[in-house]
Each structure stands twice: as C-alpha cells, then as structure tokens.
Amino acid sequence: MASEVKSDKLSPSSGTALQIGDASDTITIPTGATFTVTDGIGVASGGTGLASFTAGDILYASGTTTLAKLAKGTAEQVLAMNSGATAPDWGSVDLTVLPTITAAKGGTGQTSYTAGDIVYASGTTAISKLGKGTGLQVLQTNSGATAPEWANSPQSLMTAAGDILYASGANTLAKLAKGSNDEVLTLAAGVPSWAAAAGGGAWTLISTTTASADATVDFTTLSTDYRDFMLIGSGIRSGTNAVDPWLRYSVSTSFVTTGTTYQWGCWGWDIENGGGASGGDGATSGWGQKATSYIRLVSPYQTTNGMGTTAGYNMGFTATIFDVHDTGLFTMSTAHTNLTQGGLTPAEGVMQYATGGGQYKEAVAIDGIRFQFSSGTVAEGMFTLYGRKTA
C-alpha cells in the first residue's frame, strides 16, 4: 500500500544534492497539480535553461550545453547568419548580391529592362529581349525566321500629307516626301525621286488675259527660260467693223508702232469667193508687205473687208514667234487665223481662213508681244501665251 508523506520542504541530509527515488523509479505528478522549478531545467537535464519566452522567439544552441533565444524580426526580414557566422540573425535581403538566374534554372538571364522591352526565347535554354520599336511600327519575324523584330508599317512611314510609299529593297518599305509644284516623278539611282520637268519642246502655259473693249492686248514678260512663244486667241470680237488683226513687238520695253521694220505675207481663202488674189508689194499670189509697222494676220484680197461686228461674228488664231531672245537673228513668226468677215458683199458674213508669216527685220531681242486691230478696240476675247524650252 502506498504511503503518504506530507512536507513543506525537502532538504538533503548533507551537501546540496537531493535525490528523489532511484533510477528505476517513476515519479508521478497528478493531473491538476503544479510542479514549479524556480530556476528552470538546465540543458544537461533536458530543459532549455530559460525561464520565459515571447511570441515569435526562436531557440538556438549558443554552446554545446546552452540554448539561447532570438526574438522575432520585423516584417519581411529573413533569417540568416550574423557577420561573425556564430549565430542566426534577422536582416533585410540585398537582392543585388544575388547571382543572375539563368533560363535553365527558371530565370531569364537578364539583369535589366527598359520600358517596352519584349522577352523571347532565343534558344532552348536562353532568353533574350527586344527593345520597343518606334511609333506605329509592327512586330514581325526577321528574314532568317529566327527572332522577332520591329518593322516599318505604311502608317509609321507616311507622316506627312503627300508622302508616297515605295520598295527600297526586297520586302522593305520606304517613303518619298511630296515634291514641289510642277515637279515630275522620275528615277534616281534606281529609286523614285522628284525632279523638275525636262525641257525639249513641250509648251508651258505662261499667262492668260481676257479682253474687254481694250485698245491692245499686251504680253510684256517673255522669260529667257523659253526660246519660242505661242499666242492663242479665241472668241475674239472687234469693236469696229471691217478691221484687220495685227501683231506688233516690243524692243527694249517699248512697242514698235511706226517705221518699216516689219514684213508679212499671207494667203486667205473664203467659201464664197474661192481663194485669194494677187497684190501687195510684188507678191505673185496672196498678199504681203516688205516694209511696214505691223504683221497682218489675214489676207486683204478685198481691201474693204476684215473682221465683222455682226452678232455671232468672231475670230480665233494661233501665232508662233521664234527665237525672241537671239540678238543675232531676225525674229520670225507664223500664224493661222480663222474669222468671219464684215464689209462689202460678197464677203460679208463669210468665213476666211488665212495662213502666213512675219519677220522683224532687225537682229534684236524681243521682250513683248501685242495683239490689236487696225482700228478700234478688242471688244472681247481670251488670249493665252505659252513658252517652249529646248533643254
């Protein structure tokens, strides 16, 4: 039967060691009872040697027979060895000291990026990056089909009104900015380019004048860019009946209206009278004058007839004046005229077609062209001047 001993204190009979039971004995502390060890149980006896803890403390061996506790760290700190490698310690991680993680180990192998970079596989275990393209470029596979690349799109190239797209190489787009007025599209070094239109005979519009009861119709700007000039008149009506159309020239900015420096010859036909007649200064057919102050555009085979003024009557003509700037040549011209005659019968109201030519008998530069009638005004009509380059 178990015996019961009640005592407030047990002390050793001698020394400081007190033994309770033998090695094979079992010491039982009943449930609900409190067994207090004042100074804690040492490590050698299977304890910690520590009397208290704070939530988050970590135990670690500070020696072969001693334990210590490490208080919890702050948010996002990690547990690592202290600088002396003697004990654990809480601290922040410096990611810059970590090695670059390769693709084979789940990383990218890249150490930095720029906004807009694209990451792509450049091999089975390698990752590369492609910098962003420029505005409106498109992503495509390169010509070797090995990697992505940025390429120009039509929208990225055409940045201004008038831009033209062309292929600067196989599968390569380029743009050509618009040219200047009157330039033409041509090739230079195998690619399109804008250039001034070549000369060589094409007539270029210079100016147009509309007459309204004018004594004369003058063109006084004959640019040296052009060698020859052509004057076209249409819908022309005279203010006076039975007058003749003339041409005159300006020399040194002054129109020559007197003297004998002009010559002209002209043959005319009408459907009523069947042709021209002999006359003039020694002409064998048609009409002409070798010393006068104008160039006549019709044949006066009936001297009282000329341009009529009846409603609907009008005339049109084309006159070409050659080498106007050449001071070593007389100035030559040709003309073709069609008009409705007025004056005496049987020519009244009858169409006359005339063809002829003229000459200014001095080797000087011509700087103006004038159309007028032999008297009266140019009641109406449109006159257009063209120039011809030879190079």
Same domain, 271 and 164: no
Q: What is the pLDDT of residue 79?
A: 83
Q: Which range of residues forms the domain containing residue 182?
A: 138-196
How much is the average pLDDT of 54-75? 83
pLDDT digits 0-9 by tens, 18-48: 777 787 877 777 887 777 776 667 776 777 7
> How many domains, the chain?
2
Under the banding of pLDDT at 50, 70 and 90, the label for residue 325 is very high
Q: Mean pLDDT of all residues in the chain?
A: 84
Strand partners, 267: 355
Please state, as a whole number, how many other Cβ atoms lie within 10 Å of the Cβ of residue 36. Answer: 4
User: 154, 179, 196: which is the final residue of a domain?
Assistant: 196
Same domain, 177 and 214: no
Q: Please tell me which of 50-54, 109-113, 146-150 the model is most confident about, judged by mean pLDDT.
A: 146-150
User: 150, 177, 196: which is the final residue of a domain?
Assistant: 196
Residue 339 lies in a domain: yes
Residue 370 lies in a domain: yes
User: Which tokens is 70 given?
Assistant: 């490490």
Q: Decide if pLDDT at 310 tops 90.
A: yes
Q: What is the pLDDT of residue 381?
A: 98
Q: What is the pLDDT of residue 191?
A: 86
Please name the residues in contact with 202: beta carbons below 8 A apart, sequence gap of 6 or more: 388, 389
Same domain, 361 and 223: yes
User: Which tokens is 347 given?
Assistant: 């020519």
Please name the residues in contact with 22: beta carbons below 8 A apart, sequence gap of 6 or more: none
Residue 248 φ/ψ region, left for φ over 0, alpha for ψ in the -120 to 50 degree band, beta for the rest: beta
The least confident of 38-42, 128-132, 384-388 is 38-42
**C-alpha triplet 28, 30, 36: angle, nearest 5°:** 80
Same domain, 222 and 282: yes
Same domain, 143 and 256: no
Q: What is the pLDDT of residue 372?
A: 98
Residue 348 lies in a domain: yes
Q: Decide if pLDDT at 304 tops 80.
A: no
Residue 335 lies in a domain: yes
How much is the average pLDDT of 334-339? 96
Under the banding of pLDDT at 50, 70 and 90, the label for residue 285 is very low
Query: Taking the alpha carbons of 295, 293, 239, 299 in that order, is the dihedral positive or negative?
Result: negative
Q: What is the pLDDT of residue 328?
A: 97
Same domain, 154 and 239: no
Same domain, 208 and 185: no
Q: What is the pLDDT of residue 182?
A: 79
The share of the chain scoring above pLDDT 90, in percent, equals 35
How much is the average pLDDT of 93-99? 66
Residue 112 lies in a domain: no
Residue 326 lies in a domain: yes
Residue 127 lies in a domain: no
Under the banding of pLDDT at 50, 70 and 90, the label for residue 295 is very high
Strand partners, 68: 60
The least confident of 18-27, 224-233, 278-287 is 278-287
Is 218:368 a contact under the CB 8 Å cutoff?
yes
Q: Decide if pLDDT at 1 tops 70.
A: no
Same domain, 260 and 186: no
DSSP 291-337: EESSEESS--SSTT-EE--STT--EEEEEEE--TT-TTSPEEEEEEE
Please state, as a whole number, how many other Cβ atoms lie within 10 Å of the Cβ of residue 179. Answer: 16
Under the banding of pLDDT at 50, 70 and 90, the label for residue 302 is low
pLDDT digits 0-9 by tens, 238-282: 999 999 999 999 999 999 999 999 999 988 877 665 544 434 443
Under the banding of pLDDT at 50, 70 and 90, the label for residue 198 is low
Same domain, 285 and 174: no
Q: What is the pLDDT of residue 64?
A: 81
Under the banding of pLDDT at 50, 70 and 90, the label for residue 318 is very high
The share of the chain scoring above pLDDT 70, in percent, equals 90
Same domain, 266 and 363: yes
Residue 12 lies in a domain: no
Q: What is the pLDDT of residue 39?
A: 67
Same domain, 170 and 209: no
User: 173, 196, 219: which is the final residue of a domain?
Assistant: 196
Q: What is the pLDDT of residue 279?
A: 42
As a dihedral over the C-alpha atoms of residue 91, residue 96, residue 97, residue 103, rounded to 10 degrees, the angle is 120
Same domain, 161 and 262: no
Q: Decide if pLDDT at 13 tops 60.
A: yes
